[in-house]
């Protein structure tokens, strides 16, 4: 820690002094940005999109029912509900309301935010509902009876913590939570995995596995698939490396795959996707490939893998999903989705295309039910193409269940993909969405560049209403650090090579100007979390390329990020600031250490949340305080609720986006 950090007091999240500072900054920003008619119009239009009754109610099958969580103006905290497929096909289904979160919050005097539920297979009668206060990652867990539509009296209950919980059977769960001293890792996640039996005190839960303090987390999982019941223990060594163990009556048996590989086990099959090249015997399997083998065969020492997918310079595997008899692959080819079906057979896997992916768009398999059948739910959209939800059975017809209406007039808008050349010669793809007549209008560029997260084309009523429909150009950069071209696209830009992320983004900004799409004075940028760090680096390293910058829930003080909340879990991405050799490259881009009084920076807005227990709000607070001290053009807003999303409901989300977009329109001209 630097002894010169006079703003360390702003890391005390809820101290009176820090919150007084927050209120003062919020007041200044709101007075500047919310008084005009345009702010109110943008806010109301976005709220209309978020609360619209004709949105697609996305569903997930769990047994005989399809489940949905729904928020609107009348139910800002939301309804957990279910229906049947036949009812859903009617257009106006008869929903069975399981839990009204608004009513619960009012009755209990709590600011509950829904965080999901884990439901016991195969009858789906009992659930473990997770609720957070104000949208934080930490949750309270309470057992819920779906048939009775009520919480179970004296059922499984866990106090507020960053809990990992899952069913073993009706009377047992696997649990990782805050059990007291030495039960959490330095990242704040569970270090112990325990088996907890119904009706027994939490203190008597049996320890299944204990990780080390510097691990990221530990968890356990039960697979109840009939005939393939198995129990696994996972030890996350860092953000990308994990050990996997099969729990047997004789103890834990390691699943001997590379620590950085992704693995999944479905019935008799195990799939392995190595994140770095893996040599097995005389075979080398490239990073990003997908391999299949019988799980029992592998555990017995067999290594005769079948290669199901092999990447190339333009193509990567995005994800996979099982149905009862088939494996569905989503492939990115220059960031455009292709879908494939693989079917295991006698000594070989048959491959066929799966329809549904739009040109210059994304098709996402949002649900399958591998215990029951070969159905799948597919959501497809593009930057100007609203979502379509389809239902299909592998090998059968595809049925359109819902089409979302247009939220903005896309007439005359164009979508194009371009490639910029980064400093080291790498071609960086980016998408440009441009309204007719936008040649003289501002442009908004966004990116992420971390944790192997891919930014694929998709429809946004918020961006459509608040930016595109008002004449702004929208740009999405697929920079390194993401997963658009597989694991190598990510690992080539971590730790000491992190500078490539920022060089890529700067190259896209320069390319936009070079093509005449915009000018630096009219180019705004926006990003959140790791993307908020990206914005901070652009501010301090490349200020001449931009006219306005928005940084949301950001990391900014990279000298201390690993000491704040979940920061220690990200050292595999950024490095260890306490290691002098690694601080040497981190310190060169850390925004908080690289803001200087003698430079001119574009106007900036920092947005965060008091209740964010993932990325500490102190990052944004301290950055703004230092910038204000140095006399820079900066403003700040901190939502008291909202967690890492900086908004706990649609009203807050609409307000946050209106604040961001009003700032950009005001600074870039409209």
What digits encode the pLDDT tens for the residues 474-503?
999 999 999 999 999 999 999 999 999 999
- The question of whether 604 is a catalytic residue gets the answer no
Name the E strands within 281-424.
283-285, 290-294, 306-309, 315-322, 327-333, 336-344, 349-353, 361-368, 375-382, 388-393, 398-403, 414-421
CA 588 – CA 495 distance, rounded (Å): 12
Q: pLDDT tens across 548-576, in order?
A: 999 999 999 999 999 998 999 999 999 99
| % of the chain beyond a pLDDT of 90 | 93
| % of the chain beyond a pLDDT of 70 | 98
**Averaged over 446-453, what is the pLDDT?**
97
187, 529, 551, 590: the active-site residue? 529
Q: Which two tokens stand for residue 337?
A: 């989705």
Please say if the pLDDT value at position 359 is more than 80.
no
Please say if the pLDDT value at position 357 is more than 90.
no
DSSP state of 550: E
**At 643, is the pLDDT very low, low, confident or very high (cuts 50, 70, 90)?**
low
Helix runs in 383-423, H state only: none
Q: pLDDT tens across 43-100, in order?
A: 999 999 999 999 999 999 999 999 999 999 999 999 999 999 999 999 899 999 999 9
Average pLDDT, the chain: 95
From the number of C-beta atoms within 10 Å of its C-beta (0-12, 13-18, 19+), residue 53 rates as exposed
What was the pLDDT predicted at 544?
Answer: 98
pTM for this entry: 0.93
CA 332 to chain centre: 18
Residue 103: helix, strand or coil by DSSP?
helix
What was the pLDDT predicted at 439?
Answer: 83
Sequence-distant (6+) residues with CB within 8 A of 514 are none
**Averaged over 107-136, what is the pLDDT?**
95
- The question of whether 529 is a catalytic residue gets the answer yes
**At 4, is the pLDDT very low, low, confident or very high (cuts 50, 70, 90)?**
confident
What was the pLDDT predicted at 1?
Answer: 39
Contact 283, 305 (CB under 8 A): yes
C-alpha distances out from residue 11 to 51, 486, 606, 616, 655, Å:
35, 36, 16, 8, 25
C-alpha distances out from residue 662 to 176, 628, 654, Å:
43, 21, 12
Give percent helix, percent strand, percent coil of the chain, each to the nearest 5: 25, 35, 40
Q: pLDDT tens across 154-171, in order?
A: 999 999 999 999 999 999
Q: Which two tokens stand for residue 324?
A: 């009862």
What was the pLDDT predicted at 640?
Answer: 81
Please say if the pLDDT value at position 2 is more than 50.
no
Q: Which two tokens stand for residue 478?
A: 């697929």
What was the pLDDT predicted at 645?
Answer: 64
**Averaged over 357-386, what is the pLDDT?**
91
Q: Is omega for the bond preceding 122 within 30 degrees of 0, making it cis?
A: yes
> What DSSP string describes 470-515?
GT-EEEEE--TTSSTT-HHHHHTTSGGGTHHHHHHHHHHHHHHHHT
What was the pLDDT predicted at 229?
Answer: 97
What was the pLDDT predicted at 135?
Answer: 86
């Amino acid at each position: 820690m630097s002894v010169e950090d006079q703003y360390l007091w702003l890391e005390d999240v809820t101290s009176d002094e820090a919150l007084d500072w927050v209120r003062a900054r919020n007041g200044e920003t709101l007075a500047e940005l919310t008084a005009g008619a345009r702010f109110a119009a943008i806010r109301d239009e976005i709220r209309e999109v978020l609360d619209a009754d004709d949105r697609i109610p996305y569903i997930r099958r769990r047994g005989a029912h399809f489940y949905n969580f729904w928020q609107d103006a009348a139910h800002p905290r939301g309804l957990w509900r279910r229906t049947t497929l036949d009812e859903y096909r009617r257009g106006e289904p008869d929903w069975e309301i399981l839990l009204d979160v608004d009513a619960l919050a009012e009755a209990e005097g709590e600011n509950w935010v829904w965080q999901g539920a884990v439901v016991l297979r195969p009858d789906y009668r009992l659930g473990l509902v997770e609720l957070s206060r104000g949208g934080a990652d930490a949750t309270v867990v309470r057992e819920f009876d779906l048939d009775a539509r009520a919480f179970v009296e004296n059922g499984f209950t866990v106090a507020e913590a960053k809990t990992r919980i899952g069913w073993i059977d009706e009377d047992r769960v696997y649990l990782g939570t805050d059990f007291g001293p030495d039960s959490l890792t330095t990242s704040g996640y569970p270090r112990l995995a325990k088996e907890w039996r119904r009706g027994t005190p939490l203190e008597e839960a049996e320890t299944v596995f204990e990780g080390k303090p510097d691990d990221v987390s530990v968890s356990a999982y039960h697979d109840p698939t009939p005939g393939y019941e198995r129990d696994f223990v996972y030890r996350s060594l860092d953000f990308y490396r994990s050990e996997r163990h099969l729990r047997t009556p004789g103890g834990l048996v390691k699943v001997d795959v590379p620590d950085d590989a992704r693995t999944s086990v479905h019935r008799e099959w195990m799939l392995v996707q190595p994140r770095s090249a893996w040599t097995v015997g005389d075979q080398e399997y490239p990073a990003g490939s997908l391999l299949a083998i019988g799980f029992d065969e592998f555990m017995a020492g067999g290594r005769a893998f079948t290669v199901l997918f092999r990447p190339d310079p333009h193509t990567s595997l995005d994800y996979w999903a099982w149905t009862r008899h088939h494996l569905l692959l989503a492939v990115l080819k220059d960031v455009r989705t292709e879908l494939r079906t693989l079917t295991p057979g006698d000594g070989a896997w048959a491959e066929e295309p799966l329809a549904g992916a739009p040109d210059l768009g994304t098709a996402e398999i949002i649900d399958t039910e591998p215990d029951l059948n070969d159905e799948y739910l597919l959501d497809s959209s593009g930057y100007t193409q609203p979502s379509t939800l389809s239902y299909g059975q592998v090998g059968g017809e595809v049925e359109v269940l819902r089409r979302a209406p247009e939220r903005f007039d896309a007439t005359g808008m164009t979508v194009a993909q371009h490639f910029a050349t980064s400093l080291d010669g790498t071609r960086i793809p980016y998408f440009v969405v441009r309204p007719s007549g936008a040649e003289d209008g501002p442009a908004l560029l966004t990116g992420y560049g971390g944790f192997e997260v891919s930014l694929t084309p998709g429809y946004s009523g918020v961006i459509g209403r608040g930016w595109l429909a008002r004449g702004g150009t929208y740009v999405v950069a697929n920079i390194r650090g993401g997963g658009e071209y597989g694991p190598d696209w990510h690992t080539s830009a971590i730790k000491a090579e992190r500078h490539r992320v920022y060089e890529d983004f700067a190259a896209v900004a320069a390319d936009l100007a070079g093509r005449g799409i915009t000018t630096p004075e009219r180019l705004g940028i926006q990003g959140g979390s790791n993307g908020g760090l990206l914005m901070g680096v652009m501010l301090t390293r490349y200020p001449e390329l931009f006219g306005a910058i928005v940084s949301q829930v950001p990391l900014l003080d990279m000298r201390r990020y690993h000491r704040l909340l979940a920061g220690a879990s990200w050292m595999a991405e950024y490095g260890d600031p306490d290691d002098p050799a690694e601080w040497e490259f981190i310190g060169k881009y850390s925004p908080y250490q690289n803001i200087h009084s003698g430079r001119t920076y574009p106007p900036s807005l920092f947005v965060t949340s008091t209740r964010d227990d993932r990325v500490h709000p102190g990052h944004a607070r301290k950055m703004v305080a230092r910038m204000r001290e140095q006399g820079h053009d900066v403003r700040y807003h901190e939502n008291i609720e909202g967690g890492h999303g900086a908004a706990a409901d649609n009203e807050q989300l609409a307000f946050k986006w209106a604040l961001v977009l009003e700032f950009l329109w005001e600074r870039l001209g409209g």
